[in-house]
Amino acid sequence: MSTNILEVKDLQKVYPNGTHALRGVSFDVVKGEFLVIIGLSGSGKSTLLRCINRLHDPSSGSVKFNEEEVTTIKGSDLRQVRSKIGMIFQHFNLIPRKTVLTNVLTGTLSKTSVTKSIFGIYSEEDRAKALSLIELVGLSGKENHRADNLSGGQQQRVAIARALMQNPKMLLADEPVASLDPATSHSVMQYLKKVNEELGVTILCNLHFLSLVRQYATRVIALKGGELIYEGSPKEIDEEWFRTIYGEEAVEVTID
C-alpha cells in the first residue's frame, strides 16, 4: 500500500471566462505531511485546493485521494470523498446566526439523513463529540454563543472543530490566517499543528507569510502563474528562490 494520501497529476483548470488558472500541476502528498502551498496572489493556490475536493471541477488531469480517482466521480460517491476531506477558509464561512454547537455539528451532515438534519436531530454521540471538539479548540463554554459574534480567531477555531467533526483524513486550509492578527495567526496555526501531529491528519495549507511557512510546514510547494515551480523543504527557500517565486522586487515581510 502506498503512503501517498493524495496524488495530483497534470492538473489543468480553465475557468469559463477563459482564465487559465492551473497549467499542468503535479505533486504527491504523503500521509501525515503538513504541506504548505505558497505563491503570489492569483497564482492559483485557491483554485488548486478547490479542484482537490471538487468545489471546482478541474478541466483535465487527475486527482487521486487514497488511490481513488476523484475527478470523475459524482453524486453520493463525491460526497463520500468530500466527507473525508475537511476544509477551512480565509473568511471562516460559518453559518451566520447559528450557535457554535450547531456550526460544529454541520460537520456530520454527510452522515446524517436530510430530514434529521433539517429538524436538528443529531445522535447523542455526535453531540458529545462536537462538545469535545469545541473543548479541543479551546472554546468550552461558548457552545451556545452565536458563531458570528465571536472574534476572528475564535471563528476560525470553530471552523477547525467543524472540519474535525468530519473525521477527516486530510484538511485543506485556504489562507486560514490571512484575516487574523499575528498573535491570533500563531494560535490558529498551533491548533492546525496539533491536529496534524496528534490526530495524524494530513494538511494542505495555503499561506502568505514565509515565517509561518518555515515554522509549520514539513514541505513546501510554490505556484506561479498556475505552474508548480518549487518543491522542497521550507529550509531550502533561500533569497534566490524567494525572488523567483515572488518576483524581483519582492521583500520578505515577517510575522512573529
Ligand X SMILES: Nc1ncnc2c1ncn2[C@@H]1O[C@H](COP(=O)(O)OP(=O)(O)OP(=O)(O)O)[C@@H](O)[C@H]1O
Cβ within 8 Å of residue 119, ≥6 positions away: none
Determine, following the binding rule CB under 6 A, whether residue 47 of this chain makes contact with ligand X.
Answer: yes
> At 159, which helix (H) or strand (E)?
helix 152-165
Which residue among 6, 25, 85, 203 contacts other proteins (CB under 8 A)?
Answer: 85
Can you read off the three cell numbers belonging to residue 121? 436531530
The entry of ligand X, other proteins, Mg ion, none near residue 152 (CB within 5 to 8 angstroms by kind) is: none
Distance of alpha carbon 42 from alpha carbon 45, whole angstroms = 8
Which residue among 23, 32, 42, 219 contacts ligand X (CB under 6 A)?
Answer: 42
Of 97-156, which residues contact other proteins (CB under 8 A)? 97-98, 106-107, 109-110, 114, 117-118
CA 53 to each of CA 47, 78, 81, 209: distance values in angstroms, whole numbers, following the listed order: 10, 8, 8, 24
Of 29-48, which residues contact Mg ion (CB under 5 A)? 46
Binding mask 188-217 for ligand X (x = CB under 6 A): ------------------------------
Inter-residue contact 148 to 94 (CB < 8 Å): yes
Residue 22 beta carbon to Mg ion: minimum distance, rounded to whole angstroms: 13
- Amino acid at the residue 196: N
Instruction: Count the site residues for other proteins by CB under 8 A.
Output: 44
DSSP lists the bridge partners of residue 25 as 11
Determine, following the binding rule CB under 6 A, whether residue 44 of this chain makes contact with ligand X.
Answer: yes
Determine, following the binding rule CB under 8 A, whether residue 93 of this chain makes contact with other proteins.
Answer: yes
Interface residues toward Mg ion, by CB under 5 A = 46
